[in-house]
Chain A
Amino acid sequence: MNRNSLRIAAPAALLALAFGLSACGAANESDDSGSKGTDTKVSGTLNAGGSSAQEAAVNAWKKAFQTTNPDTTVNYDPVGSGGGREQFLAGGLAIAGSDAYLDDDELAKAKELCKGDVVEVPVYVSPIAVIFNLDGVKDLNLSPKTIADIFAGKITTWDDAAIKADNPDAKLPSEKITPVHRSDDSGTTQNFTDYLSKAAEGAWTAEPGQTWPIKGGEAAEGTSGVVAAVTGGKGTIGYADESQAGDLGQAKVKVGDTFNAATPEAAAKVLDTSKPVAGRSATDIAIDVDRTSTEAGVYPIVLASYQIACQAPAKDAALIKAWLTYVASSDGQAAAAAGAGSAPLTAEFGKKVQAAIETIKVS
């Protein structure tokens, strides 16, 4: 194999060399070399990867972070949460982005890898909207049980009594309902089914999971696929990140006695009322989102996506710490909200997150 790879490598290297000599950097990267010097800034390359849901937010963070720290390059491979966690646990990535917190097995492995504790912080919170496309209907109120029955195929027409009961003023046609779900495994499906199984008063019997668990309905790939299918069909209903819902109608979801819309503020607020997962250390802010919260102004269908790093990273500790500190800061959260439509962490919750990041040891 070695001789082969040498034979393979030699012409390829020549090619690379020829290309490298003749080419120059991108026009917008030329100013990088000029601004060296200030030694308070960090430098180096940070390799992260995982959740593709975070990608747009990471792009916004990268822009600001690389501008203030011009000698850094942050790479983020959107390979998916599972891939991100696996590669982090194998020691291949400095930071994993994940739509789900590490489970107990993974946590044990991570502690072994890190030779110490793990810092796991939710930094990207995205409300998941129930989107629909129905002629003549703009506003729709739905209770959790009704949503579960619609997606389970028990409620099949829009003028069903259960929907009418929540929307006494709406003119609901007798059109057929086509529910649309994600065909790929995703954190969005995980959070949506988790919500249904906890909040729908027993109407949803399937186990929550990243794979859509039941038969029936239409399936589409990715957030954009669901949005496209709901937009293209008639009488369709689906679930997708609120920021990508576009002009589609978004249902208000019943929380306690009121119907709340999927807004960033309401989504961030639910984290405050949720309980941390039992048995985790102070730096591991894993959260089971409180789906049945009855507090005013919360929206319980949210996706909380984490970034995971070692508490005492073997290398680039300063860089990792600087990155996470920025990401969790109010500036970072605002940048993600502007670039990706995520919900900024509340000040109170942000403090908890910052305290965890503060424990990262820079030797």
Chain B
Amino acid sequence: MTSTQAPAPGRAPIRRPGDRIFSGVSLGAGLLILAILAGVAIFLTVQGIPGITASPDEVKSGKSFLPYVWPLVYGTLIAATVAMLIAVPVAIGVALFISHYAPRRLGQTLGYLIDLLAAVPSVVYGLWGIGFLAPHLVPFYAWLDEHLGFLPFFGPASATGRTILTASIVLAVMILPIMTAICREIFLQTPRLHEEAALALGATRWEMARLAIFPYARSGIVSAAMLGLGRALGETLAVAMVLSVGVGTVTANLIGSDNPSTIAANIALGFAEATGKSVNALIASGLVLFVITFLVNFAARSIVDRRKEFSGAN
């Protein structure tokens, strides 16, 4: 790209008005996004600081900020991590199935159905989690407790199934549509020639996927995963409805009835009745979530090789 635009030395590039307007508008849109985000960040900071500095007796929790927010951070990370562990492989598998394994017409219809699920309101996922998923998982949790109870994750099992593992499964189902849809579009964009070249060399279908599709789609898969992670971290209502939360719990047990809450769910559960400094404390926890998202993205971006900006046909 850059090379095609580089002007010959000594000759000024031609700047047409159309170009100037178009690039100006594009830059403006980019800057506007920065402005919006700065607005959100300023809002969170200004409103959050009184909550961070509030003394324990000014807020409802009766704790100073760090001990208050730590179990929530823990719960948020656990729930999102487990959800991602479930959802990422499944989303890639489903996308690959739709784009390269299923008969074309069937694949389209199925993709269409999955897109629909992105629109189901959180409250429906919550109701499904309580009414359907949790009761069905109770025997499974009892089994885990009995046979794998020596692992710290599978302690005493909950009798109702409304555990952090259930919440993670619900989250995984919720983020599946968006991750699948983006992966699918990207897999479909893999140049035909690359695929056919791989097949012509005698590659099996899986080798073709590994050689032609995945390298091409890597940055897109990471994007899809980040979008899913964002939603998993920020989902409020479904988690609030499904999870049986304890007071300041920190536990490795994924299947107990006393679970750590997540930041977003805690905001949803506490916001309606909060006044004064308690509101600030809740917003401050939102700021913490913001910082977590920041750090997680930062880590993900540094891990993933970003050298190939254009994984396309270069």
Contact = CB atoms under 8 A, between A and B. Distances in A.
B279 to A, nearest CB: 7
B235 interface: no
Given A183-B240, A209-B60, A218-B244, A86 B273 contact: no
A228 B269 contact: no
B131 A185 contact: no
B279 A233 contact: no
Interface string A202-227: 00000001111111111111100100
B273 A185 contact: yes
B272 A81 contact: yes
A80 interface: yes
B49 to A, nearest CB: 18
A329 interface: no
Given A86-B275, A184-B272, A218 B130 contact: no
A185 B275 CA distance: 12
A54 B247 CA distance: 27
Interface in B260-291: 261, 268-276, 278-279
B258 interface: yes
Interface string B127-166: 0001100110000000000000000000000111010000
Given A187-B273, A216-B246, A225-B241, 4 more contacts: A82-B271, A82-B274, A211-B270, A214-B247
B257 interface: yes
Interface string A61-105: 000000000000000000111110110000000000001000001
A186 interface: yes
A183 B244 contact: yes
Given A184-B269, A184-B270, A184-B272, A86 B279 contact: yes
11 contacts: A82-B273, A83-B272, A86-B275, A178-B257, A183-B244, A184-B269, A184-B272, A211-B61, A218-B160, A218-B162, A232-B134
Given A221-B240, A221-B269, A229 B247 contact: no
A52 interface: yes
Q: Which 6 A-B pairs have the closest CB atoms?
A: A80-B272, A185-B273, A184-B269, A82-B273, A82-B275, A219-B244
A213 B248 CA distance: 10
A100 to B, nearest CB: 9
A215 B32 contact: no
Given A215-B258, A229-B160, A233-B159, A183 B245 contact: yes
B223 interface: no
A217 B244 CA distance: 9
A185 B130 CA distance: 19
A80 B273 CA distance: 5
Nearest to B134: A232
A85 B279 CA distance: 12
